[in-house]
Amino acid sequence: MYLSNELNDIIRSDSLPIDGKLYIDLSKLEDVALFFVKIHNNELSRVMDAIKDIINKNEVTKSFTSSQILQEFMRSLIDGHLDIHIVHCEIILMNQIRSTEDILENPHWEYKNEPYQILTLNQSLLDNPRVVVSLMYQNLSKMLYNPLTYRKNKPSAMDLLFMPKPQEYLNATEIIKTKAQPEKLVNPILKTRK
């Protein structure tokens, strides 16, 4: 258990030394975190390390097929007593599976036995077909000089946050106001472009 920085500051500045002891006005400790405890959860960190190895360690990740990596991912979660739905694991892994011909494209699953590759989590974020996702991740300077960045053209959920006028993209209709209360909005409708 450690003293918090706030409590340490109060002790240094506002305490009264009397008979070799420090006295603090308790009213000064309102809404102040007094102590903090560092907790090591070895079981959880063991599970997280195993999951990180499965989805983000090159030699391990690339050794699996798509069904095997999902199975190992789920086995690690079950062994660690983590209650996570399989669909969440599938979504993470789905974004790591790419076409062997073009790293920015998903495999064409409509063709039987379509070849694919499984990327590590880091590589799938760096080589994401959505430029905004890649730029938000890491190695920004590398991304700006990488020729692959200029081929990325898929839309992202984050795009609207970086647009100067997102309402033009959304084709917002006029906001209908009632005659009785013109200051209140009634059911504004936004249509997205098809």
Residue 119, pLDDT score: 92
Other Cβ atoms within 10 Å of 25 Cβ, number: 10
pLDDT in tens, 105-114: 889 989 888 9
Residues in the chain, overall count: 194
What are the pLDDT digits (tens) for 115-155? 999 999 988 888 888 887 887 877 777 777 778 888 888 87
- CA dist 110 and 82 (Å) reads 34
Tokens 């309402």 locate to 167
Which pLDDT score, from 0 to 100, does residue 171 have? 61
pLDDT value, residue 153: 80
Each residue's pLDDT tens digit, 165-193: 777 766 644 444 444 444 444 444 444 44
pLDDT tens-digit readout, 42-60: 678 888 899 999 999 999 9
Report H helices in the chain.
5-14, 42-56, 58-61, 66-79, 86-94, 121-126, 131-137, 140-145, 159-162, 166-170
The confidence band for 160, taking pLDDT boundaries of 50, 70 and 90, is: confident
Q: What is the mean pLDDT of residues 13-20?
A: 83
